[in-house]
Amino acid sequence: MSKDFNPNDPAVGNGIFGLPEDPDQARFILIPVPWEMTVSYGSGTELAPHFMKVASGQVDLFHPNNPELYKMGIFMDEFPEEFIDKHEKLRQVAEEIIEDLGLEEATIDKKRADAMYNIIEKFTEEVNQWLKVRIRFWQAQSKIVGLVGGDHSIPLAYHQLLAAEETEYGIITIDAHHDMRIAYEGFRYSHASIFYNVLKNQNVSKLVQVGIRDYCHQEVEFIASDEMKPRIDVFYDQNIRSRIYQGENWSRLCKEMVDALPENVYVSIDIDGLDTKNCPNTGTPVPGGLEYNELTFLLDQLKASGKKIIGFDLCEVGYNDNDWDVNVGARLLYHLCSIC
């Protein structure tokens, strides 16, 4: 950090949080993934990485848990331009498939539909491969790497990398949805399937889900299966509220969540896990959810436990000509860095 940098000054330059753009000196690397290939309701999350970076200039740099956090350095990487261009074209293909599924009589024959699915799947795998190489590149320089989405399908590459490295770890995710569908609207790499895909990695010893309140029968049956039941703990939003209304406190609940995790922990946040007043433009909003300060308290308890955070992502922040969601997202990104 340059001696000339003054954290009290207004943000200048293009660095995230107004910090100097110096990847060599930065402790944290944020990889933006402007991706919403299979979103099934609201769009705009592909715009979020850029607009969170813009909004981050309004985040004051004094963090109560770590006043000198800014000195550690935070750098936002770049996503390949050719991927952005190809994503835009193939998103139109995905939209055509999704729209056709909603018709009483399909207009796309099976052969053509299979070919369209295959093209999208291969491109997704190409992007995942790039992400694995990029994450490994920064980790080799002793950086802490976080992903900034984009929809919630994007962290699959991170987990595939951890699987290849045979890292044993747990995941805590804050989300309105289980995201455990085998596939959704025909897409295997859907945002609605991320944890079904991740749990194929046997190195994930525990998945703790918090704030869940919108899910299907298939997901409930999957969680209750003999194979998955020992590996998954779910803190449903309805049960959380019921326990609090009957006199339990949030601190005790957070302790249960954190205690269920192993030594190594990956943090995955879908912004729709929060109350929708914090994320009105997210792709699949659901009533209920955590308050912002409940989430940051939970993250602080995770840090206080002494468990090692090995990576994180923030996904499903929406942007639709409204800066509120990305302002919330930018502050949550800063807080995520504070706990690592």
The closest alpha carbon to 333, from 51, 84, 12, belongs to 51
Asked whether residue 16 is assigned to any structural domain, the reply reads: no
Asked whether residue 220 is assigned to any structural domain, the reply reads: yes
Asked whether residue 3 is assigned to any structural domain, the reply reads: no
Q: What pLDDT, in 10s, does the model give residues 58-79?
A: 999 999 999 999 999 999 999 9
**pLDDT value of residue 2:** 63
Asked whether residue 264 is assigned to any structural domain, the reply reads: yes
d(CA 241, CA 249): 10
Q: What pLDDT, in 10s, does the model give residues 158-188?
A: 999 999 999 999 999 999 999 999 999 999 9
Does residue 287 carry a pLDDT above 80? yes
Burial of 67 (0-12, 13-18, 19+ CB in 10 A): exposed
What average pLDDT score do residues 302-309 get? 98
Q: How much of the chain exceeds pLDDT 90, in percent?
A: 90
CB atoms within 10 A of CB 237: 20
Q: Which residues contact 10 (CB under 8 A, 6 or more apart)?
A: 18, 57
d(CA 288, CA 276): 7
Backbone angles phi, psi at 175, to 5 degrees: -165, 155
Asked whether residue 90 is assigned to any structural domain, the reply reads: yes
Asked whether residue 59 is assigned to any structural domain, the reply reads: yes
Domain that holds residue 160: 26-338
Average confidence score pLDDT of the chain: 95
Query: What is the number of structural domains in the chain?
Result: 1
Please give the helix or strand (H or E) that residue 204 lies within, else none: strand 204-212
Asked whether residue 10 is assigned to any structural domain, the reply reads: no
Asked whether residue 14 is assigned to any structural domain, the reply reads: no
What's the CATH number where 191 sits?
A: 3.40.800.10
- pTM score: 0.96
